[in-house]
Structure 1
Amino acid sequence: MNNFINVNQLKENLKNVVILDVRFDLHDSNYGQQKYDEEHIIGSFFIDLDKNLAGEKKEHGGSRPLPEIKEFIKKIERLGITKDSSIVVYDEEMVTAARAFWMFKYIGHKDIKILNGGYTEWLKEGGVVTNEKTQLPETSKYNFEILKDICADIVEVKEAIKEKDISIVECRSFERYLGQNEPFYSKPGHIPTAISIDSKSLLKNRKVKSSEELNEIFRRLNSSKNIVFSCGSGVNASLDYAVYSEFFSNGKVYIGSYSDWTSYSENSIETKDEN
């Protein structure tokens, strides 16, 4: 796989990659840092979803909008990352790691992979962990190039609702898609015309499903010119994007996602199954 790396492959390349720990709990913003301090993959650095991979929440733009790019670049330069770095990102469910994966793709980084199975699989396979903080290398210089084609805004989403050859994919759980369960937002449901492909449906035992299984899941998107992945705040959608882009190049993430969509009172929502 191009976007994922297994535990054994990482074990063999520990000295040749930059490893980023992106563990996070949507209900506890301190979880990731605490877990990193307790133990982490040897040689890894911690990246915080809200502090490093998202910007300040405002009235519109979603609950986890894009960070200020210059600040993000400063962060990765402090970790010694260059455009030629081989990067591996991990968490426990491959969701926040996928947001990091997408973020690096957005700035034009080519060699980045998600640890298949995440930290749980690393421990299961006897990977080395430590509680020692990784020593920072010399600050690097990162020359970035924004790839706007993999990021969708609300204007594109409104266009997708009208156009039959652009598909919106809702990546939250099917229950949240139907508006039956919504723990974060006041308006339960989904963006009109969106179909449901829960990011968890792409995994089996915490790892990415086989190519045959994934192609079967994505088959209904074959007739679409472009695919816009949406979730609550552009996190789960990043996992759908990472898996989908193993096979196709016409996917993009609506970073503002449902939290941005519902911030506009005039925007309608649906609770019916549109699959």
Structure 2
Amino acid sequence: MEFLINAQELYEKISDVIIIDTRFELLNPSKGEQLYKEGHIPGAQYFSLHNDLSAQPKKHGGSHPLPDQDVFLGKLSEAGITKQTTVVIYDQGNAMFAARLYWLLEHYGHRSKYILNGGIAAWINAKLPITSVVKRPLRQNYQEQPDLSMIVNVDDVKASKEVMNTILIDARSRERYLGKSEPLYRKAGHIPGAKCFDWTAVLTAEGKWRSKEELAQIFGELDPNKEIILSCGSGVSACMNYLALTALGYKNVKLYPGSFSDWISYPELPIETKAE
């Protein structure tokens, strides 16, 4: 698929791109940066989900709000990225955190960007070099405005329930969707009306992306003529479904950044635990 690059292709172009390492663990927030310092793809810069790809959570807005514009663009500038830069993003292997950065770059109109298929695990399996040396690129000055048409808020989601032309999907596991398990939040279940499309289904058992034909089978019931709102726990794994749907040609796809963690911050809003 167009947004993917494999390990050998990246190795051959490594001097022409800027590489971003987004490894992260939700239950161990310092682990990703620790792994980066121990060894990363040569030249890679580190972006943290908590520090660089999200703002600090507040009462509302979810547990991983979109980063402040100046902070995010400052991080791109610090990494030596310009509007013309080709950016290659990777994480451990499943691409969830890489997808968050990919979506953010899309949100700010950055055109040339790829995800390393299979992440650093694929790079290591290809016996390509790893380093612990951290390089400091020449700082740039990245200036751009976000495309606000790509996002919706809690009021939009509430209003969408009255609109037949909108589909809300939830990227979390079916167990969390049904409220049988919830490791991160004080309430369990899903936003009423949401359909479950577990983000891990877009990947093979080896952590590589499925083909377009396979993705078309997974998402085939979704009408491309309708607006599709993506949600998950906090707007991160939903970006995987964004990549899949846009690769299939869906045009009217929007992210609810706050997702379930924002929804449950309003005690008056209902929660469902039955499949829809």
State the TM-score bracket (shorter-chain normalisation).
over 0.9
SS in 2 for 1:98: helix
Q: Which residue does 1:11 correspond to in 2?
A: 11
2:122 and 2:162 map into 1 onto residues whose CA distance is 42
Amino acid at match of 2:104: M
User: Where does 1:15-164 land on structure 2 (aligned, <5 Å)?
Assistant: 15-92=15-92, 93-134=94-135, 136-164=136-164
SS in 1 for 2:219: helix
Name the one with the larger strand percent: 1
**TM superposition shift of 1:147:** 1.1
1:267 and 2:273 aligned: no
Q: Which residue does 2:172 correspond to in 1?
A: 172
Q: Which residue does 2:242 correspond to in 1?
A: 241
SS in 2 for 1:146: coil
Q: Which residue does 2:233 correspond to in 1?
A: 232
2:107 and 2:13 map into 1 onto residues whose CA distance is 25
1:25 and 1:238 map into 2 onto residues whose CA distance is 16
1:48 and 1:200 map into 2 onto residues whose CA distance is 21
Query: 1:190-212: CA deviations, max 9, x gaps?
Result: 01110011000110020111111
Amino acid at match of 1:242: L
SS in 1 for 2:137: coil
Q: Give unpaired runs (5+ residues) of structure 1.
A: none
TM-score (norm 1): 0.97
TM-score (norm 2): 0.96
Query: 1:66-112: CA deviations, max 9, x gaps?
Result: 11101111111111110111001100120011111111111111111
2:101 and 2:84 map into 1 onto residues whose CA distance is 17
Contact conserved, 1:165 with 1:223, CA < 8 A, in 2? Answer: no
**TM superposition shift of 1:143:** 2.3
Amino acid at match of 2:30: N
With 72-81 and 258-267 compared, the bigger mean Cα shift is at: 72-81
**TM superposition shift of 1:164:** 1.9
Contact conserved, 2:224 with 2:251, CA < 8 A, in 1? Answer: no
Contact conserved, 1:167 with 1:224, CA < 8 A, in 2? Answer: no
1:244 and 1:112 map into 2 onto residues whose CA distance is 17
With 231-240 and 148-157 compared, the bigger mean Cα shift is at: 148-157
Q: Give unpaired runs (5+ residues) of structure 2.
A: none
Query: 1:131-172: CA deviations, max 9, x gaps?
Result: 1112x2221121213111221211221122221211111000
SS in 1 for 2:273: coil
2:180 and 2:259 map into 1 onto residues whose CA distance is 18
User: Where does 1:191-206 land on structure 2 (aligned, <5 Å)?
Assistant: 191-204=191-204, 205-206=206-207
Amino acid at match of 1:251: V
Identity among equivalent pairs (%): 39
Amino acid at match of 1:273: A
2:225 and 2:197 map into 1 onto residues whose CA distance is 15
1:66 and 1:40 map into 2 onto residues whose CA distance is 26
